[in-house]
Structure 1
Amino acid sequence: MNRQTMLRNLTPLFAVLLALSACTEPAPAEPPLAGAAIGGDFTLTGEDGDPVSWSDFEGQYRTVYFGYTYCPDVCPVDTQRAMAGLKIFEKGHPALGAKIQPLFISVDPARDTPAMLKEFTANFHPRLLGLTGAKAQIDTVTKAFAATYSIGEEQPGGGYLVGHTNITYLFGPEGEPLAILPTDEGPEAVAAELEKWVH
């Protein structure tokens, strides 16, 4: 078989392969935290003093951030960017945005009363819910959610700082970990990440 005949015979095969590749859509990417051992049920105290459990939000997406209201810089910046990103996403996708419950879990239970948390969260998003509890409860929850915190020494003039993980997690409707929201890149990046995984 000469070269020309061989090429003629292969042409229909190439055409079929080309048509198949055009029809095949790329498989959806798996969420970056898929399968990670992060999360789990808990019950803490909400802003109104009532018990709030992780299972209360079954069927909803959830964002989770561990911080504290006396935080001088990191917590307000991270929370502002995450909630501004959520607002951008809500504006473009109101129905999907309504399926996301943002949570702020305090790592400073000695000072963060429900009233303090309510005042803090009101600055960022009308649905952002602050949670607190006894230190033993917070220790259990931070461990389950792969977060850490450490209470600093008393400062001159009173008060103390709390070192903590500053990650904003996104969880799916069944409480499964999906992704970390890129708050360091700003609200638009947060909205783009929500766009990828909230359906």
Structure 2
Amino acid sequence: MVKQEVKALSGKAAIGGPWSLVDFNGELKTSKDFHGKWILVYFGFTHCPDICPEELEKIAEVVDEIDDNPNVPNLTPLFITVDPDRDTIGAMKEYLKEFSQKVIGFTGTSDQIDNVCKAFRVYYSKGPLDEDGDYIVDHTIITYLVGPDGNFVQYYGQNVEAPEFTKSVIEKMKTYKPHYDK
């Protein structure tokens, strides 16, 4: 069995920060709307053929496991598009219902998406159009754990499987010391 990668960082990482986007119900939300909650943030797009669906299924599994554990707080998963041209409010809502009723989808203007991606250090790039006028978006494949104070806590790469991911989130929740400076 291959050892899965979970990165622990010391000090305060310059990841995350304030953002403002439109959720899949058409409501403007900001990062402050999630203060007081533990959140997972994943960046992807609805036309993704395989990676995003796999990661969303894993996130849904982790969230369900955490929510079923009475010893830790619930976890709110957020899916932020890196393809605002195609990922409308309706497209996000339709896409995410295939994975979990708990995942909240976010879209916005290109500038809003650029800003939140810069805050989380997410790379994304629209690929070339194919013969059908379709395209793929290359993007960072990381899920971010953010504490109830709005600060980045941990990230999980694509190779971290759900059981290890869940175990790590529970450990982070139990040992977390908030820093309310945002």
TM over 0.5: yes
Cα 1:158/1:167, change in 2 over 3 Å: same
* Unpaired segments ≥5 residues, structure 2: 1-7, 175-182
Max Rg structure: 1
Aligned counterparts of 1:155 and 1:97: Cα–Cα separation in 2:
45
What corresponds to 1:80 in structure 2? 57
**Is contact 1:183-1:190 (8 Å) kept?**
no
Aligned-residue identity in percent? 35
What corresponds to 1:122 in structure 2? 97
Please report how far the alpha carbon of residue 73 of structure 1 lies from its aligned counterpart in structure 2 after TM superposition: 0.8
**Is contact 1:88-1:188 (8 Å) kept?**
no
Give the TM-score of the pair, scaled to structure 2.
0.86
**Is contact 1:34-1:178 (8 Å) kept?**
no
Q: Considering only aligned residues, what root-mean-square deviation do their CA atoms show, in Å?
A: 1.5
Larger strand fraction of residues: 2
- The reply to whether residue 67 of structure 1 matches residue 44 of structure 2 is yes
Give the TM-score of the pair, scaled to structure 1.
0.79
Q: Deviations over 1:42-77 (max 9, x none)?
A: 110110111011100111111101100000011111
Larger helix fraction of residues: 1
What corresponds to 2:137 in structure 1? 162
- The reply to whether residue 131 of structure 1 matches residue 106 of structure 2 is yes
**Is contact 2:76-2:102 (8 Å) kept?**
yes
- The reply to whether residue 45 of structure 1 matches residue 1 of structure 2 is no
- Paired residue for 1:191, among 166, 173, 177? 166
* Unpaired segments ≥5 residues, structure 1: 1-30
**Is contact 1:63-1:169 (8 Å) kept?**
yes
